[in-house]
Amino acid sequence: MADMALLSLLSKPITSEPYRDPDHLDQLRCIFAEQGYVKLTGFFAEPVYESLMAEIEVIQRKKRKRDFQMPGYATPRIMSVVSGNEILESSVLLAALYGHYEIRKPLATIIDQDIFGVHHRDELMVVNLLEKRGDTHGWHLDDPRYAFIAVLKATPNDQGGSVEYIVHWRSLCVQHGLDAEQDVDKGVELAASLGMIRRAHHEAGDCYLLNAGECLHRVTPLTVDRSERCVLNMAFDDRASIPFGATADLLYGERA
């Protein structure tokens, strides 16, 4: 994006009007506090969303295919990814949006905490793509607590690509003597028996906020070929500095 066009875009509202309305944000805060998830329909102002789409179309050419079982969780990663480092090198717009107060302010209000960007250059902001039958982003927790996700391409509801998540996952594991990262299969089976697995499907243009460090979550496998789910995930935390395990490097690192 040319410099003048970028400056013009960023000088106008980034978010749509509801996300500048304190009453609307308070409603979303209550939902998020209870569910650990909230859908943010129409979050971006239309010109910003259109520019975001155009940037991602270019950036996704840098995608790297992944097909492995994540150690520890023992769940599949069959997907394509673009790391935060590659995004930052490719897009001034996305770098600007990640740090923009018009994005961080409503998210902090919904979370009811001050939030910080994360310092892991590969995971602070990523593009995740599912592109064919069987592609999936298996059950996991994120190292950063909060995932703000913009859905850029989406599958129909009956073709997979839905988000499934388990609220209070860590508490469930403690109550039943399970390891939150090593006993995923047992815990998911237990959560299913208790009716604790929630599902949300999204259309292109939707955004959502997930407490990804506390809610075990996955994106369900695509069930047909010639289908695609593409999202931009921006990671935030209410801690200024956080430890990272090896999962981000394994999934998004250039040498993975």
**Which structure tokens are listed for 65?**
């295919």
Average pLDDT over the chain reads 96
Q: Global pTM?
A: 0.96
Reported as a single tens digit per residue, the pLDDT across 35-94 is 999 999 999 999 999 999 999 999 999 999 999 999 999 999 999 999 999 999 999 999
- Run of H or E residues at 5: helix 3-10
- Run of H or E residues at 98: helix 92-98
Reported as a single tens digit per residue, the pLDDT across 142-188 is 999 999 999 999 999 999 999 999 999 999 999 999 999 999 999 99
Dist. CA 130–CA 214, nearest whole Å: 24
pLDDT value at residue 226: 86
Q: What are phi and psi of 183, to 5 degrees?
A: -115, 45
Domains and CATH numbers, the chain: 16-236 (2.60.120.620)
HSE of 7, CA atoms in CB hemisphere, 13 A: 3
Please name the residues in contact with 208: beta carbons below 8 A apart, sequence gap of 6 or more.
37, 38, 39, 40, 148, 149, 151, 163, 200, 202
Both ends of the chain: CA-CA distance in Å?
30
Dist. CA 200–CA 202, nearest whole Å: 7
For residue 108, what pLDDT band results from cuts at 50, 70 and 90?
Answer: very high
Exposure string of 98-115, with b = 16+ CB inside 10 Å and e = fewer, is beeebbbebbbbbbeeeb
β-bridge partners, 76: 69
pLDDT value at residue 256: 54
